[in-house]
Structure 1
Amino acid sequence: MVKILVFSIIFLSLTIMGCIYRAIKGPSSTDRLIAINVIGTKTIILILMVSFILHETYFVDVALVYALISFIASVVISNYIESLGGKSR
């Protein structure tokens, strides 16, 4: 079971690299925002997988706080993009 989780962590880390590329080179600010949200979601999953591997329950609290901060940040950035009129960079 641990080997599967380690493989999944490696795979998710590689897909996060693709999302980082999309966040930097995205054609529009909306694409960048979606890429950042996907990075946040995958990071939460990685934290939970590490929590399961290490048998540490406090990582679940860390993941919940990270999810809350990620949600608030995406709302703030969405409002900022809307105030700009949705213009691309």
Structure 2
Amino acid sequence: MTRATEAAAFFGIIGTLYIALLFQWLPITFSTTFQEFTLPVLPWWALVTFGAYSLGNIGYHVMTFRDCPEAYDELQVQISQAQSDLRSKGISI
């Protein structure tokens, strides 16, 4: 099974379970506070939590971004080669 299929199956099961709990199709008794106030906002809570995790993850990886000195040196060599090639063709830089 591919990762997309696994993710679709997971979210399909979670979504079906959520809808069954929301419309009280399952014979599980919860407190009315949970049924009326907590369960309807659960998807928004999950979305906000996922967004906060994503922003934190991106921020951490930007903060710990590794420098590549080899790539810098290679780029400097390529720039000097391009400049010398352009000068040999009569283009002033």
Query: Structure 1-normalised TM-score?
Result: 0.36
Bigger proportion of residues as helix: 1
How does the TM-score come out when normalised to structure 2?
Answer: 0.34
User: Which of structures 1 and 2 has the larger relative contact order (alpha carbons within 8 angstroms, sep 6+)?
Assistant: 1
